Amino acid sequence: GATPRRLTRSQMDRTLLLWILPLCVAPPMFSRDVYSYLAQSEITARGLDPYEVGPVDALGADNVLTRTVPNIWRETPAPYGPLFLWMGRGITYLTGENIVAGIFLHRLLALAGVALIVWSLPRLARRCGVASVTALWLGAANPLLLFHLVAGIHNEALMIGLMLAGTELALRAIERSGPLRSTDIAFLVGGAGLIALSSAIKIPSLIALGFVGMALSRRWGGTLRSVVYAAILLGSIAVAVQVAVSLGSGLGFGWINTLGTAGVVRSWMSIPTILGLGTGFVGVLLGLGDHTTAVLGLTRPIAAVVAGIIVVRMLIAVLRGRLHPVGALGVALGAVVLLFPVVQPWYLLWAVIPLAAWATTSSFRRPAIAFSSLVSVILMPNGSEYQPFQIVQAAVMTILTIAVLYLFTRNRMPWPTRTGPPARDRSADEYAESS
């Protein structure tokens, strides 16, 4: 048969660029969080504390920025780190209350994060023996990223981009053979600093510093003493960065008190939350009353403990050399996301993007592709959420429509005829085995 054609890196880059460009000029889609960003940035620009007051109290209910914020977030303080609000304050100084200009500049921040992801993924993939195109196709060309980070303008783009870039720089020093040189130390410190900066946008990315630390500990012998030394070194860098950003921005440390703000949302994608909601619903059906809140108070702490156990197991696996730090990071973030009290569709990218650089088996890739394709359209373009029954109905009607169209056109369409067995393409597994 003919030699199978494979997507080259340049073709992948051009395809990704063509997919991203139209979304760059589209209005915010699949989420209205960017309007919260604008309101919280305006609060910060006015010299008020965004970690103490929400848009209604700070700006007034009739303010143009307050009116664009989703109702659930109009009276809540900002749940984001000081670095993001510091950058948002700069955007507000430039745009004032011009919403269109503010949205455009926030999208530029998101695109900068996507650029960091595209830069980091191929390099991390090579460390894991994965083809760069395979990693980019599943990680950067993922509809979750295109719809929710580019079109939806979520700050996860910058968080994940900084986290991955920092991880790559740190591993560049750690995985190099021979004694550490001054340039290696610069890469290590710089990489740890970037990860700490990413956590000043959203705190979960700080987990990556633990896996970098375990890789460093393994290089230093894998002893308990080496773990302590690595923890002191990287922990000091993280604390220094957080203190510098918190004080330099003038926002202080109020962000610590608002880390649980998102917990007011009851997300059916969260395992502990859906268990609590389901148990509460059954209680109502049995006439026992609605005990959903009480059950959530039980399932969510248990899930947090389970997530912590999984993260610790992944850290130990890196220390003992059983897993690569990138893969262990992806698994750990996957556990954190699924067991988090609140799960939004774009949260899945915390895990999917690192795993795209490490996992090559079809047992991961196929479910990841299917799940990403489904979850990416869970939200309507205006940001509201589909109900589960709507998804089922849409899936059934889609299948029926395709079946009917196929029945009417199967004998009329110029389907290609095969003269021999199709050429078998080389899978990502074979890429990993050959590297």
Q: Is 26 exposed, middle or buried (0-12, 13-18, 19+ CB in 10 A)?
A: exposed
pLDDT on residue 193 = 96
- Annotated domain spans of the chain: 9-382, 387-413
Percentage of the chain beyond pLDDT 70 is 85
pLDDT band at 414 (very low <50, low <70, confident <90, very high): low
b/e sequence 73-96, b meaning 16+ C-beta within 10 Å: bbebbbbbbbbbbbbbbebbeebe
- Reply yes or no on whether the pLDDT at 237 is more than 50: yes
- Reply yes or no on whether the pLDDT at 428 is more than 50: no
Q: What is the pTM of this model?
A: 0.83
- Reply yes or no on whether the pLDDT at 422 is more than 50: no
Average pLDDT of the residues in 51-69: 87
Distances (CA, A) of 291 to 20, 60, 233, 278, 299: 45, 36, 46, 10, 12
pLDDT band at 93 (very low <50, low <70, confident <90, very high): very high
* Whole-number Å distance between alpha carbons of 54 and 56: 6
pLDDT on residue 427 = 43
* Whole-number Å distance between alpha carbons of 163 and 143: 20
pLDDT band at 3 (very low <50, low <70, confident <90, very high): low
Average pLDDT for the chain: 84
* Whole-number Å distance between alpha carbons of 376 and 392: 15
pLDDT on residue 426 = 47
Asked whether 122 and 81 are in contact (CB, 8 A), the reply is no
pLDDT band at 434 (very low <50, low <70, confident <90, very high): very low
Q: Which of 345, 425, 334 is nearest to 134 (CA)?
A: 425
Average pLDDT of the residues in 317-325: 93
pLDDT band at 155 (very low <50, low <70, confident <90, very high): very high
- Reply yes or no on whether the pLDDT at 420 is more than 70: no
- Reply yes or no on whether the pLDDT at 64 is more than 50: yes
pLDDT on residue 268 = 63
φ/ψ (deg, to 5) at 379: -95, 145
